[in-house]
């Protein structure tokens, strides 16, 4: 699986968009980019995933660059409950596979 | 609520002892995963089962073992416990959501070894 680089921490004002970047320059053609988050000491939670097209769901949007070497997770209107560690995880398609968590980004949403 | 249950929530035991952590996956999920989260190692994959069979192994110590039963619940057995085994242990399940690699995590078991 590809290695990832994420900033260790970011702040965002409540109600503003939070943009969380991830560099995955060694990603291979069949690897999707998955995003999970972990609110303090709770079990991680799936957010969104994509291959090369931008994706949106009820939680977030995912923008993947054309060369697929980086991506940005966007929380459009961050709330205090979005304070968590966010993980970007490249993962091959196909059958269910274990997740490899890096260090992630600690997002703190400020009132 | 992810639909994954783990018991117990907290466990305090002494070095050298043996404990069993239990996980019930979401209804319909055939895959169960175990992860360990310690302060210095972060979240690490231990082992995966699929429909009762071991599917993948990660950084799981020989002192640790797991199994998945016919009703799909899983148990993680930790023996000859050491201080360094103190951690949060998460179970996750997947398979029925329609999204590959969407894993649903339980609330975790916090193990403290004294």
Q: CB B45 to CB A41 under 8 A?
A: no
pLDDT at A95: 63
pLDDT at B16: 98
pLDDT at A1: 66
What is the tens place of the pLDDT at every residue in B95-105?
A: 877 777 889 99
* pLDDT averaged per 10 residues, chain A (length 111): 90 97 92 95 94 93 95 97 96 80 96 95
- Partner residue opposite B33 with nearest CB, options A34, A93, A98: A98
Q: CB A34 to CB B88 under 8 A?
A: no
User: Is A57's Cβ below 8 Å from some Cβ in B?
Assistant: no
Residues 6+ apart with CB under 8 A from B103: A44, A46, A96, A99, B33, B92, B93, B94
Give the chain B residue whose CA is nearest to the CA of A48.
Answer: B102
pLDDT at B29: 93
Question: If you average pLDDT over residues B19-28, what whole number do you get?
Answer: 96
pLDDT at A92: 84
Look-up: residue for tokens 């929530």? B9
pLDDT at B97: 77
Q: Is the pLDDT of residue B58 over 70?
A: yes
Task: Please list every residue in chain B whose beta carbon sits closer than 8 Å to the beta carbon of residue A42.
Answer: 105, 107-108
Which is more confidently placed, A94 or B31?
Answer: B31
Question: If you average pLDDT over residues B49-56, what whole number do you get?
Answer: 94
Q: Is the pLDDT of residue B9 over 90?
A: yes
- Partner residue opposite B106 with nearest CB, options A41, A43, A100: A43
Task: Please list every residue in chain A whose beta carbon sits closer than 8 Å to the beta carbon of residue B33.
Answer: 98-99
How far is A103 from chain B, CA to nearest CA, in Å? Answer: 7
């Amino acid at each position: 699986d590809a290695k990832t680089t994420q900033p260790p921490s970011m702040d965002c004002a409540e109600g503003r968009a939070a943009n969380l970047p991830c560099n995955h320059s060694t990603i291979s053609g069949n690897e999707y980019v998955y995003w999970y988050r972990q609110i303090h000491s709770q079990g991680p939670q799936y957010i969104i995933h994509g291959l090369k097209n931008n994706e949106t769901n009820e939680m977030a949007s995912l923008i993947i660059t054309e060369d697929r070497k980086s991506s940005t997770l966007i929380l459009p209107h961050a709330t205090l409950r979005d304070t968590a560690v966010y993980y970007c995880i490249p993962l091959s398609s196909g059958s269910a596979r274990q997740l490899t968590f890096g260090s992630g980004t600690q997002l703190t949403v400020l009132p | 609520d992810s639909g994954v249950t783990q018991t117990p929530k907290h466990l305090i035991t002494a070095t050298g002892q043996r404990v069993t952590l239990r996980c019930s996956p979401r209804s319909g999920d055939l895959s169960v995963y175990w992860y360990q989260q310690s302060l210095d190692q972060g979240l690490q994959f231990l082992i995966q089962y699929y429909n009762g069979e071991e599917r993948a192994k990660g950084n799981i110590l020989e002192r640790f073992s797991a199994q998945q039963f016919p009703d799909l619940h899983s148990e993680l057995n930790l023996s000859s416990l050491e201080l360094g085994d103190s951690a949060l242990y998460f179970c996750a399940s997947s398979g029925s959501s329609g999204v590959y690699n969407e894993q649903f995590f339980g609330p975790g078991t916090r193990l403290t070894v004294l």
